[in-house]
């Protein structure tokens, strides 16, 4: 059963692992129903959406499943995102509010538990975002707020006007995409790993009680492919497979356990539409990698400690 974590210093308690619903529209109605109910039975009751996933169809499919099961809405948490439009980003008050209104219609619910701003909009006016958040909160349409893919100064700029706590930041992070970790090891050095590309978002998140939601936790590069079982990474897979065998779990569980081991108390987003794979991943919640095992995996990914 997947454990829960407290989000920052809030009273909000969420599943340690979240199911990403970007590809759920690829499933039939029956398959989607089985997948969602299986997630709930495994303790994964936090579901991540975005208005752009399958052009809104992902939210529609999910909404149909929830609507067909009386009482189900009260047993789960729904997160959605907004701000990406065709060819540009949009954090205007009008777009944020209308996007949530449309997501609620597709999801067949009166509220979402969490709303994230999806990608940084350099034309963002914090005053407008604050107004949008106030409207959504006052009308009971959104319970909690956060961001996605924003750096510390962008978050601070938002906080200049937004009064609601920003509880989450969804960021790309995996064993093979570990820049926010790498730079912390290579302080005061001149190698490529020492470059801080994200403004120190890992440490910032811990200091400001923001929960990092790693997306694409099995990918290497920017959607270049999955590193598990990939011949490009023989040493990494040798170590992961050995640990998986020792602990009696799948390699996917080890990859997620590596993220869960970090004291930042992260909440990985796993986007699988394969129910068996999802249940295999859920077992990561029962595993606590030792410090030695964590670092062995990190080195096997090709990282060199200074």
For residues 132-162, one letter each, b for 16 or more C-beta atoms within 10 angstroms of the residue's C-beta and e for the rest, the string is bbeebbeeebbbbbbbbbbbbebbebbeeeb
pLDDT digits (tens, 9 = 90+) for 68-87: 999 999 999 999 999 999 99
Query: Is residue 9's pLDDT more than 90?
Result: no
Residue 306 within any structural domain of the chain: no
Structure tokens of 158?
């938002």
Residue 262 within any structural domain of the chain: yes
Distance separating alpha carbons of residues 13 and 269, to the nearest angstrom = 16
**CATH number, position 142:** 3.20.20.100
For residue 223, the model assigns a pLDDT of 82
Distance separating alpha carbons of residues 267 and 3, to the nearest angstrom = 11
| DSSP notation for 13-73 | EEESSEEE-TTGGGS-HHHHHHHHHHHHHTT--EEE--TTGGGGHHHHHHHHHHHTSTT-G
Positive or negative, the CA dihedral 226, 232, 233, 238 is positive
Distance separating alpha carbons of residues 40 and 33, to the nearest angstrom = 11
Residue 83 within any structural domain of the chain: yes
Return the H-helix or E-strand segment holding 270: strand 269-270
Average pLDDT value for residue range 95-104: 98
For residue 37, the model assigns a pLDDT of 97
- Residues 6 or more apart whose Cβ sits within 8 Å of residue 109: 63, 66, 73, 78
pLDDT band at 222 (very low <50, low <70, confident <90, very high): confident
Phi and psi (nearest 5°) for 268?
A: -60, 145
Residue 168 within any structural domain of the chain: yes
Residue 117 within any structural domain of the chain: yes
pLDDT digits (tens, 9 = 90+) for 150-208: 999 999 999 999 999 999 999 999 999 999 999 999 999 999 999 999 999 999 999 99
Residue 133 within any structural domain of the chain: yes
Model-level pTM?
0.97
Structural domain total, the chain: 1
Residue 184 within any structural domain of the chain: yes
Only one residue has tokens 């449309």, namely 102
pLDDT band at 8 (very low <50, low <70, confident <90, very high): confident
Query: Is residue 245's pLDDT more than 90?
Result: yes
Tell how strand 84-85 and strand 88-89 pair up.
antiparallel
Q: Is there a catalytic annotation at residue 53?
A: yes
Bridge partners for 214 per DSSP: 171
For residue 200, the model assigns a pLDDT of 98
- Please state, in angstroms and as integers, the Cα–Cα distance from residue 300 to each residue in 64, 255, 259, following that order: 43, 12, 15
For residues 205-215, one letter each, b for 16 or more C-beta atoms within 10 angstroms of the residue's C-beta and e for the rest, the string is bbebebbbbbb
- Residues 6 or more apart whose Cβ sits within 8 Å of residue 224: none
261: containing domain? 4-300
pLDDT digits (tens, 9 = 90+) for 254-289: 999 999 999 999 999 999 999 999 999 999 999 999
For residue 174, the model assigns a pLDDT of 98
Which of 1-15, 21-35, 84-98 comes out lowest in average pLDDT? 1-15
Return the H-helix or E-strand segment holding 115: strand 112-117
For residue 10, the model assigns a pLDDT of 86
Residue 98 within any structural domain of the chain: yes
């Amino acid at each position: 059963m997947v454990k829960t974590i407290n989000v920052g210093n809030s009273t909000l308690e969420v599943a340690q692992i979240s199911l990403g619903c970007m590809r759920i529209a690829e499933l039939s109605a029956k398959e989607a129903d089985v997948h969602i109910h299986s997630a709930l039975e495994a303790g994964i009751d936090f579901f991540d959406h975005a208005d752009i996933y399958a052009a809104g169809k992902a939210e529609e499919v999910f909404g149909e499943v929830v609507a067909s099961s009386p009482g189900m809405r009260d047993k789960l948490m729904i997160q959605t995102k907004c701000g990406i439009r065709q060819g540009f980003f949009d954090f205007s008050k009008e777009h944020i509010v209308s996007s949530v209104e449309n997501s609620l219609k597709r999801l067949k619910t009166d509220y979402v538990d969490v709303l994230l701003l999806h990608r940084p909009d350099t034309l963002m006016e914090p005053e407008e975002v604050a107004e949008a958040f106030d409207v959504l909160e006052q009308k009971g349409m959104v319970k909690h707020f956060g961001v996605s893919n924003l750096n510390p100064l962008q978050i601070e700029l938002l906080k200049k006007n937004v009064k609601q706590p920003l509880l989450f930041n969804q960021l790309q992070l995996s064993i093979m995409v570990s820049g926010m970790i790498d730079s912390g090891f290579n302080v005061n050095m001149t190698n490529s790993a020492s470059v801080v590309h994200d403004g120190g978002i890992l440490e910032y998140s811990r200091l400001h009680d923001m929960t990092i939601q790693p997306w694409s936790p099995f990918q290497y590069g920017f959607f270049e492919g999955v590193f598990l079982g990939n011949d490009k990474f023989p040493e990494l897979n040798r170590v992961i497979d050995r640990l998986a065998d020792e602990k009696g779990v799948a390699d996917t569980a080890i990859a997620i356990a590596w993220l869960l081991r970090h004291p930042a108390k992260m909440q990985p987003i796993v986007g699988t539409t394969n129910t068996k794979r999802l249940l295999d991943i859920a077992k990561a919640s029962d595993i606590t990698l030792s410090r030695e095992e964590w670092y062995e995996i990190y080195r096997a990914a090709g990282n060199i400690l200074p």
